[in-house]
Amino acid sequence: MTEVAQFFLIFLGTIIVTRLVLLPQRILYPRIFGYHVHHFVYGIVLVVIALFLSNLFLYAVGLGLFVDELPLVFTQKWSWYRYNSALCRIEDVAIIVAIFLLRSYILLPISFH
């Protein structure tokens, strides 16, 4: 399996697992200085670590966590109901399709081993 295919499968799997975990119930996010730390923050941290380590798995997981909450980042409407809304799902699918179409370019400048 190519790196591009591995990247996309891990990326998509991360989004699916995250949705399955967060769909049925609210999960209390940890707080740092009174700010809720959502999973897109973990995604950004993982992407940065993956770039330093040249780790494809961490990169795909981090990008998946970030993209999963991207619609909420754009709208700044942080609620469990918004996260599980049909509009948020449509936005997620659009972003996933864009990542699929650009998957080769996303990995182009990065050499993973």
Domain ranges of the chain: 3-21+35-107
Task: Give the pLDDT score at 25.
Answer: 65
- The answer, as to whether pTM is greater than 0.85, is no
Could you write out the DSSP letters of every residue in 6-68?
HHHHHHHHHHHHHHHHHSSS--PPPEETTEE--HHHHHHHHHHHHHHHT-HHHHHHHHHHHHH
Task: Give the pLDDT score at 59.
Answer: 92
> Which residues in the chain land under pLDDT 70?
24-37, 72-85, 108-113
